[in-house]
Amino acid sequence: MSKKQKMSGAEAFVECLNKEQVEVIFGIPGGALLPIYDELYDSDIRHILVRHEQAAAHAADGYARVTGKVGVCIATSGPGATNLVTGLANAYMDSVPMVAFTGQVPTSMIGNDAFQEANITGITLPITKHNYLVKDAKMLPDIMREAFYIASTGRPGPVLIDLPKDVQTDAIEFEYPKSIKLRGYKPTSKGHPLQIKKAAKVIMEAERPIIYAGGGVVISGAHAELLALAETLMAPVTTTLLGIGAFPGAHPLSLGMVGMHGTKYANYAMTESDLIIAVGARFDDRVTGRLDGFAPNAKVIHIDIDAAEISKNVAAHIPIVGDAKNILTELIKEIKRKPKSKWNEKIEKWQKEFPLEYDRKSKELKPQYVVEQIYDMCPDAIITTEVGQNQMWAAQYFKYAKPRTFITSGGLGTMGYGFPAAIGAKVGCPDKTVIDIAGDGSFQMNSQELATAVINDIPVKVAILNNKFLGMVRQWQEMFYDKRYSATRLDTSPDFTKLAEAYGALGIEVTKPGEVRDAIKEALASDKPVVIDFKVAPEENVFPMVPAGAAINEVIDYGGKI
Amino acid sequence: MKHTLSVLVENKPGVLARVSGLFSRRGFNIDSLAVGVTENPEISRMTIVVEGDDRILEQVIKQLNKLVDVIKVSDIKPESSIDRELALIKVEAGPKERSEVMQIADIFRAKIIDVGTKTLVIELTGDVSKINAMTDLLRRFGIKEMVRTGKVSMLRGIKAARGE
Ligand SMILES: Cc1cc2nc3c(=O)[nH]c(=O)nc-3n(C[C@H](O)[C@H](O)[C@H](O)COP(=O)(O)OP(=O)(O)OC[C@H]3O[C@@H](n4cnc5c(N)ncnc54)[C@H](O)[C@@H]3O)c2cc1C
Ligand SMILES: Cc1ncc(C[n+]2csc(CCOP(=O)(O)OP(=O)(O)O)c2C)c(N)n1
Ligand SMILES: [Mg+2]
């Protein structure tokens, strides 16, 4: 029988974080969090003060994605809490394990429109996996234990805990619960053996199989099993944006990314396949394009831990619910080696015929060239991205060898994500080079975090592909709205090198292709946070491109017009 | 097509908001919803009638199952279940119409639970079609007000739509 200790809710909060082995939390204090911050003051938990709560959430998210651990962030009641909302929605869409804490007005004042009161559990209901309002300090240990468990198991996601001020000061008898009692929450982990046998049979019969791997492979840690499956079957592998890194990008069986800005050969292979083996991927509309044109002759094996993803968008012939690593391990035992086939040859021909391309001879500084040089000089870096063209080029022109090295906002597409996520990633993996491949628009949504990076000595690098436009939107305006560039010009951006220097970071400007490598070298050599302002060709477009409403084999090639 | 779901949930504050929020966010239509505590005071049962084809029903069930506070979801088929709804109907009926209204109530085995100078209040229990049939008949007198509880359902025989 363990001894119970008397302590305040705030002390219990810190104790619970210790029990969950939380090493770092990102946040900003406020009136409703004073008791907790007072406890944090002499705890061993590292607290990183950010400059905007949105960044706290994204940093926790970036930390979680690179380490696989639960990311933790904290914000005060009212505006602090509402500032977390975008970060929570982002983590929810991309299935990121996170626990967010918010201060709340005292329980006696809840519902009175008290100063800095916001109904944050109500607001975040649709964008959290679960949330709690702690009404009694005695409940806190159970709730915290449950929250970390829910966030990190099954299909991961963010969980929010709202902490009224009196709950932080009330005294309780503390004991960390040994077990969790959740009648309504039992994630499936093992796949059904009969379904796996059925899948193996269909796989052995298929002539044109394709493996379609998503973020679930990364979450599950199933990359080694995926590689074994692909090599045994000689099956080509395409990944989603969030599946990048789940399969080595430079592997001969790799087709790169599928979908709207995927490679032409991935989209052709998907369309002509007779079997799609989907692993931890959710048939997002960016991937499928027009549904009736999507892989019309393919049977679908769908492996996913979330039953609700199965047959949501594309009907599955053989659903297997469970953890990807478990299921692939069993599946591999049921299949036999296959030789190289006509299908492989056909795909190799497409790969030769339709490589990713841009005008390499141009004297202009091309954004794709910048990404290629970053890849060449630090292929093992962790890359985070902002949203837009920069994100797509970072996905296309860098060949990620390992999972958890490409960190991007996929489902929500949150501009301003990449920089704070890079900070979180660097905190999680201090020995790795972390580079945010950024856009000039997105970077300005959280550039205030330069202060966080400098003051806390978190030397992330930001490579701004500065095209002086909200480029992705401009591209659509160019192609579909007669080049009417409504509200997409960013000519009035600040001088990013000076901005970096104002915060105490290093700023480097690059205007010519010949300067790219020296600038990257200098940035890597510096022990400070660095911003490189690459002044790239302003009206460069992302290709290949599947226009909205088209099937994914209806691809517009480089320089193409609609 | 209408489906009846029997949903066991934790009897905790906010659970109704989670369930109804899920329906509105995913664009599912709720026809009726009735909640009450079960034989176990920690657990409540919701009887939810939803409109939609089989694909929508499948998504509704799977999404409901994802809610941490939802313990069990059962799709209750009409042939294997009994269901009831209660309605209170305030009908305009002065002394002249009173006896005719009372006769209709009698046929439906409904009760008159309040009599005013110009109105009668009828309490009717039955399956949804019975309540619809009676309200249709009463409409020509003028229905001043009506409250319906929404349908509650239970499986016939020994089976129970229960959690562990
Ligand atoms: C500007 C822009 C352009 C984009 N263009 C593209 C594009 O061209 N191509 C593209 O692919 N995406 C693109 N996206 C991203 C897209 O919007 C989706 O975010 C992405 O396709 C979803 O990836 P996913 O299917 O791997 O699912 P994720 O969102 O990563 O979901 C993971 C899936 O795995 C499951 N899962 C989780 N854990 C496990 C486990 N342990 N075992 C098994 N399964 C598990 C989950 O239930 C879920 O179904 C773009 C985004 C933006 C912002
Ligand atoms: C918070 C937010 N607001 C608006 C958008 C819509 N949007 C998508 S891409 C984009 C342009 C991004 O510009 P920039 O960061 O410069 O990247 P580029 O496309 O130029 O590389 C915009 C405005 C978004 N995704 N996120
Ligand atoms: Mg830009």
Q: Which residue of A has its CA nearest to B8?
A: A184
Does the pLDDT value for residue B161 go beyond 80?
A: no
Residues in chain A: 562
The residue-averaged pLDDT of B131-138 equals 95
Q: Are A253 and A230 in contact (CB under 8 A)?
A: yes
Q: Indicate the residue of B14, B21, B69 with minimum beta-carbon distance to A184.
A: B69
Instruction: At A195, list the tokens.
Output: 């379904």
What are the percentages of helix, strand and coil residues in chain A, rounded to 5? Answer: 40, 20, 40
How far is the C-alpha of B58 from the C-alpha of B74, rounded, in Å?
11
Return residues with CB closer than 5 A to ligand 3 (ion). Answer: A 439-441, 467, 469, 471
Task: Give the count of beta carbons closer than 10 Å to the beta carbon of residue A179.
Answer: 5
Phi, psi of B121 (to 5 degrees): -110, 125
What does the pLDDT look like over B7-39, one tens digit per residue? 999 999 999 999 999 999 888 899 999 999 999
CA of A535 to the centre of ligand 1 (A): 31
> Could you tell me if the CB of A258 is within 6 A of ligand 1?
yes
Q: Is A129 an interface residue toward B (CB < 8 Å)?
A: yes
Q: Which residue of B has its CA nearest to A186?
A: B68
Best residue for ligand 2 mutational test, from A261, A370, A467, A472 (most atoms within 8 Å of Cβ): A472
How far is the C-alpha of A88 from the C-alpha of A157, rounded, in Å?
9
The pLDDT of residue B163 is: 57
Across the interface, whether the CB atoms of A182 and B68 are under 8 A apart is answered: yes
Determine the distance from the C-alpha atom of residue A389 to the mean position of all C-alpha atoms in its chain, rounded to a whole number: 16
In terms of Cα–Cα distance, which of A421, A440, A422 is closest to A87?
A421
What is the ipTM metric for this complex? Answer: 0.91
How far is the C-alpha of A333 from the C-alpha of A18, rounded, in Å?
40
Q: Of all protein residues, whose CA lies closest to atom 23 belonging to ligand 2? A: A470
- Which ligand lies nearest to the CA atom of residue A471 in the structure? 2
- B163 to chain A: which residues are within 8 Å by CB? 183
How far is the C-alpha of A230 from the C-alpha of A539, rounded, in Å?
39
pTM for the model stands at 0.96
The pLDDT of residue A1 is: 44
In terms of Cα–Cα distance, which of B106, B160, B71 is closest to A183?
B71
Q: Of all protein residues, whose CA lies closest to atom 12 belonging to ligand 1? A: A241
Low-confidence ranges of chain A (pLDDT < 50): 1
- Which ligand lies nearest to the CA atom of residue A415 in the structure? 2
Q: Indicate the residue of A129, A184, A311 with minimum beta-carbon distance to B70.
A: A184
Q: Which residue of B has its CA nearest to A308?
A: B62
**Pairing of β B81-92 and β A158-164:** unpaired
Q: Is A18 an interface residue toward B (CB < 8 Å)?
A: no
Q: Residue A551 has what DSSP assignment? A: B
Q: CA-based angle B50:B56:B58, to the nearest 5?
A: 100
- B22 to chain A: which residues are within 8 Å by CB? 126
**A433: Cβ–Cβ under 8 A, 6 or more apart, which residues?**
A378, A380, A381, A382, A461, A524
Q: Which atom of ligand 1 is nearest to the CA of A261?
A: 8
Q: Are A265 and A351 in contact (CB under 8 A)?
A: yes
Q: Are A389 and A539 in contact (CB under 8 A)?
A: no
The pLDDT of residue B66 is: 97
CA of A387 to the centre of ligand 2 (A): 5
The pLDDT of residue B158 is: 79
**Pairing of β A46-49 and β A98-104:** unpaired
Q: Which atom of ligand 1 is nearest to the CA of A260?
A: 8
How far is the C-alpha of A422 from the C-alpha of A404, rounded, in Å?
12
Chain pair A-B, CB pairs under 8 angstroms: 37
Which position has the token pair 């009224």?
Answer: A164
**Pairing of β A24-27 and β A71-75:** parallel
Helix (H) or strand (E) holding A468: none
Phi, psi of A183 (to 5 degrees): -60, -35
Instruction: At A143, list the tokens.
Output: 């709730």
How far is the C-alpha of A62 from the C-alpha of B134, rounded, in Å?
61
Q: Is A317 an interface residue toward B (CB < 8 Å)?
A: no
Q: Three-state DSSP class for B32? A: strand
Q: Which residue of A has its CA nearest to B14?
A: A122
Number of separate helices (H) and strands (E) present in chain A: 23, 20
Show which of residues 19-38 on chain A sit within 8 Å of chain B, judged by CB atoms: none
- A185 to chain B: which residues are within 8 Å by CB? 68
Determine the distance from the C-alpha atom of residue A82 to the mean position of all C-alpha atoms in its chain, rounded to a whole number: 21
- Which ligand lies nearest to the CA atom of residue A418 in the structure? 2
Instruction: Show which residues of A are catalytic.
Output: 53, 115-116, 165, 472
Task: Provide the H-helix boundaries in A366-491.
Answer: 367-377, 389-396, 418-428, 440-443, 450-455, 471-480
Residues with CB under 6 A from ligand 2: A 386-390, 413-415, 439-442, 465, 467, 469-473
Instruction: At A237, list the tokens.
Output: 């592998």
Does the pLDDT value for residue B83 go beyond 70?
A: yes
- B72 to chain A: which residues are within 8 Å by CB? 184
Count Cα atoms within 13 angstroms, Cβ side, for A25. 25
Count Cα atoms within 13 angstroms, Cβ side, for B61. 18
- A312 to chain B: which residues are within 8 Å by CB? 59
